[in-house]
Structure 1
Amino acid sequence: MEGENKHRSLSLWQVVVIGVAYMAPATVFDTFGIISRVTNGQVPLAYLLALVAMLLTAVSYARFSRLSAREGSAYTYTTETCGKTMGFFVGWCSLLDYMLLPLINALLAGFYLNSIFPDVSYTAWVLIMVGLVTLINSFRINILANFSFVFVAATLVMMLVFIYLVVTGIGNSQGYSQVMTLKPMFNGNPELNTLVAGISLVCFSYLGFDAVSTLANETKNPTKTIPKAIIWTTLVGGAIFITVSWFVTLQFPTLAQFQNPDEALPEIALIVGGAAFQTQLLTVQIMNAFASGLATHASASRLIHIMGRDGIFSKRVFGSVNTKLGTPLYSIFFVGLISLLAIYVDLAMVVSFVSFGALIAFTMVNFSVFMKFFVIRKERTGFKNLFMNLFLPLASVFSLLGLWINLEKNALEFGGIWLCVGIVLVLYKKIKKQPISLGSPVEEVSNS
């Protein structure tokens, strides 16, 4: 199906909406207590500095996506510049967080729905959630974009209501001068090591721009649309995270008011807006989990499809596209089966693993920019080329390595096990003499 345009239906705004939905912006409420504890109260600053680091990486993604109409992701970009084996390992590590994110959304939706409707079991809600997400993803991608728009819009409206309640509550009780302050950005006790640990933790929130790069084959004029969508997704997502965490920190400068800081959402909503607002916010969280579930499921299935088409997985099964729907049905069904593991796993355990693959992918894309433009294409003359092709990508690599080494120990251990499984798979293919290669040549276009 590559090279055909009849299924290219996504516009710029639709791709951005899918990317923002992938980020699940309302999770800023769920993770506030965890990030606040890790950073000693510097949640908005952690999101801001993570945005700076992620924008550098988003620029690298955007530069690659201008060169090819082929679906992107760190897997494709690394393969094209650093070789098949290195590309496989990056794709393999990325696959870890790609498959875990739909599972996390199914788990959260099941938990929230069960808390509202306890007569229906958690297992039943997970089955319903996974079934609906898989069904919607089976149809054309523009249907997913329309669903994502509705749910993202509802989430943003509820966030605005939350901000209004915080501003009026503090303004009426303490005076509006207490609202117009920079205190949330410099809250807590600043320590470099805790702040870096917090940045590492929130990086998974920005995975939406990586997901956007996998949608090139279903996007109109991808070499122009995808680069813009990558940057806009990063900026919009970052603005949401920073703004909401700012007002949560304004209301809760410490965690002293929370009985359970690691699951702060219900208490945040209850204290700010009462029981009615708590119910409304919980409802929106279900919608947020559903929207993110749709987007993460779509991106995970596309990555599996790309790797199947390239012969890493079964080309006949995962590399195929349904001719009527224009979607990789077998890959979509496979992600649905993986998501059903939400019935058995623990949320804290799964969340800790997500950033491992993300940071490896981000690091390798920046390194691939250096390899592509500075080493292979030898674009080295002039300040602009030196800055864009040498200094900027390598600075991004070293900044991400600093975040990577600050990941939690269990995430590094599980990621190491996952990497070892990938090594076994490569050795098996070499023994069987099954090549790991790109499915088709890359179509290069003008970088302008």
Structure 2
Amino acid sequence: MSKNIFRTKSINQFLSETKQDGGMNRVLGTFGLTMLGIGCIVGTGIFVLTGIAAANYSGPALIISFIIAALACGCAALCYSEFAAMIPVAGSAYTYGYVALGEFWAWVIGWDLILEYTLALSAVSIGWSGYFGNILTNLGLALPKEFITAPEEGGLINLPAMAIIWIITLINMKGITQSSLVNDIIVVIKLAVVGLFIALGISHVEPANWTPFMPYGWSGVFTGASVIFFAYIGFDAVSTAAEEVKNPQKDLPRGIILSLIICTILYIAVSAILTGMVPYLQFKTTAAPVAYALQLVGYHWGAAAVSVGAICGLTSVLLVMCLGQSRILFVMSRDGLLPRFFGHINKTTKTPVRSSLLVAIVSSILAGLVPIGIVAEMVNIGTLAA
């Protein structure tokens, strides 16, 4: 029995199975994968965590914290790059675990990833609902509280959170080409917002605000690095699309590494300008440091632009996470570790429609009925397990 549950599967076996049902469309190149990586990495982390880490842990040395976190992620990214090039099959760490460790550990890893992605998908959609509700309120179109909050928070159901999951799912079900195109457009918008902040803020930088540069010492810098590590999570999602890449041996490593490098440069630039515009201690009183900094220097419309960037950031995160989750579920089903019904590729769209629908049903129910606090705690458990 131990031989059966710890049996491994060769790379050739996995590759032969990818041709079942005609296989998925191999249309993604380095650019598309890089945009997927940026889409999943750059979320609210750049708009929220920068201020928290600067005020409480790193001060202006937040730049160093981002570099340390990037180096730590870089080691993991190099591992994912090598695995993805060696085993160009959907499923990410689940597939790598099956080849290296055996069926039992692959099953454990797969369920950890399902737990992490499903709960994170629900949590991010609830956050998206909050931003969406704020934008509508500013436009004078406030939604009734009953339809934007969970039952335990005094509402009936969080409809915007459920709706965005289904919209994203429908886009993903249409095909990887359509998903990649939508992601590219969203990423361009949010990168434009980040670029706008850099362009507006750089002329308002006061070098005096960078003194003292390391107010909390090296311990604060390393603590800050651990806090903002969350802002990098997502580069691994690129590897879940391995079966839809034109040249996985070259494109996957390039996409993973490039997305990490680009995001690191953006994070360093934003944190340097942010702490140069406003004394770092002032960020203790705000959860929206980028918008706060723009308002202080007279750009009152900056908050609106940041809200657009944040909601675009969350949308692209949802898109990539939903895509990744459905691929992990699909591969596990194809391997027989989940009902084979979900290990099916639609002949028209060349996408795992059944697994995508299952992901949408479960995650939307959680997003609509469970409070953000409980979902966030469950996400932490899922991420830790994974």
Length-normalised TM-score, structure 2: 0.81
How far apart, CA to CA, are the structure 2 residues paired with 1:255 and 1:204?
A: 22
Kept in 1, the 8 Å contact 2:122–2:367? The answer is yes
Residues of 1 paired with 2:193 and 2:371: CA distance? 28
**Distance in 1 between residues matched to 2:178 and 2:67, nearest whole Å:** 33
Evaluate the alpha carbon distance shift between residue 270 and residue 304 of structure 1 in structure 2; reply closer, same or farther with a 3 A threshold. farther
Alignment of 1:242-257 (within 5 A): 242-256=268-282
Query: In the alignment, which residue of structure 1 is the partner of 2:11?
Result: none
CA 243–319 in structure 1, closer or farther in 2 if over 3 Å, else same: same
Distance 1:269 1:52 in 2: 30
Quote the residue 1:86 is aligned against: 105
Distance 1:255 1:338 in 2: 41
Q: Distance in 1 between matches of 2:377 and 2:159?
A: 25
Match of 2:143 in 1: 120
- On the 8 A contact 1:58/1:209 being kept in 2, the answer is yes
Q: Which amino acid aligns with 2:42?
A: A
CA distance in 2, matches of 1:190, 1:322: 56
AA in 1 matched with 2:317: S
CA distance in 1, matches of 2:218, 2:115: 31
Query: What residue number does 2:6 align with?
Result: none
Q: CA deviation at 1:90?
A: 2.3
Q: State the partner residue of 1:2.
A: 18
When the two chains are superposed, the root-mean-square deviation of aligned CA atoms in Å is: 2.7
**Cα distance 1:272–1:159, how it changes in 2: closer, same or farther (>3 A)?**
farther
Mapped pair 1:151 → 2:175: no
| Map of 1:14 onto structure 2 | 32
Give the % identical residues: 25
Partner-residue secondary structure (3-state), 1:256: helix
Q: What is residue 267 of structure 1 aligned with on the other side?
A: 292
Q: Which residue is 2:129 aligned to?
A: 110
Change (3 A) 1:246 1:25: farther
Compared CA separation, residues 11 and 184, structure 1 to 2 (3 A): farther
Q: 1:57 to 1:265 in 2, by over 3 A?
A: same
| Alignment of 1:320 onto 2:344 | yes
1:266 Cα deviation (Å)?
4.5
Q: Which of 29, 34, 59 is equivalent to 2:52?
A: 34
Report the Cα offset of residue 5 of structure 1.
5.6
Contact 1:204 1:358 in 2 (8 A): no
Q: How far is 1:44 from its partner?
A: 2.6
Structure 2: distance between partners of 1:348 and 1:246: 31
| Structure 1 residue corresponding to 2:251, chosen from 210, 225, 229 | 225
**SS, match of residue 191 in structure 2:** helix
Provide closer, same or farther for how the CA distance between residues 257 and 58 of structure 1 changes in structure 2, counting only shifts above 3 A: closer
**Alpha-carbon deviation of 1:124?**
3.2
Distance 1:184 1:141 in 2: 48
CA drift at 1:348: 5.4
Relative distance call for 1:321 and 1:237 in structure 2 (3 A) is same
Checking the alignment, whether the CA contact within 8 Å between 1:106 and 1:342 is kept in structure 2 is yes
Change in Cα spacing, 1:315 to 1:204, as seen in structure 2 (3 Å) is farther
Query: What is aligned with 1:384?
Result: none
Structure 2 unaligned residues grouped into runs of 5+: 1-16, 149-157
CA separation of 1:273 and 1:99: change in aligned 2, threshold 3 A: farther
Answering whether residue 224 of structure 2 is matched by residue 198 of structure 1, we say yes
Residues 250-280 of structure 1: CA deviation (Å, up to 9, x unaligned): 2234233553x34545434433453312112
Query: Using a 3 Å threshold, how does the CA distance of structure 1 residues 80 and 321 change in structure 2: closer, same or farther?
Result: same
**C-alpha deviation, 1:360, in angstroms:** 6.0
Question: Quick one: distance in 2 between partners of 1:348 and 1:190?
Answer: 32
Structure 1 residues 208 and 120: CA distance shift in structure 2, 3 A: same
Report the Cα distance in structure 1 between the residues aligned to 2:50 and 2:360, rounded to whole angstroms: 29
User: Which secondary structure does the structure 1 equivalent of 2:25 belong to?
Assistant: coil
Asked whether the 8 Å contact 1:270–1:278 carries over to 2, the reply is: yes
- Report the equivalent of 2:261: 235
Deviations 1:155-204 (A, max 9, x none): 1111111112222223xxx5xxx29x9x4894431243x44443333333
* d(CA) in 1 for partners of 2:129, 2:88: 37
For 1:308, the equivalent position in structure 2 comes to 333
Q: 1:164: which partner in 2?
A: 199
Partners of 2:35 and 2:182 in 1: how far apart?
A: 10
Pick closer, same or farther for the CA change 1:87–1:136 going to 2, 3 Å.
Answer: same
Q: Is the 8 A contact 1:302 1:328 kept in 2?
A: yes
Give secondary structure in 1 for the equivalent of 2:89: coil
Instruction: Structure 1: give runs of 5+ residues left out of the alignment.
Output: 362-448
SS state at 1:274 partner: coil
How far did residue 143 of structure 1 move? 0.8
Mapped contact 1:44–1:185 kept (Cα < 8 A): no
1:400 aligns with none
- 2:164 aligned residue (129, 132, 143): 129
- Alignment correspondent of 1:279: 304
Q: CA deviation at 1:20?
A: 0.9
Which amino acid in 2 is paired with 1:112?
Answer: Y
Q: What's the CA shift for 1:145?
A: 0.9
Q: Is 1:329 the counterpart of 2:353 in the alignment?
A: yes
1:347 Cα deviation after fit = 4.1
Q: Which residue of 2 aligns with 1:64?
A: 83
Which residue does the alignment assign to 2:7?
A: none
Give the deviation of 1:312 after TM superposition: 2.1
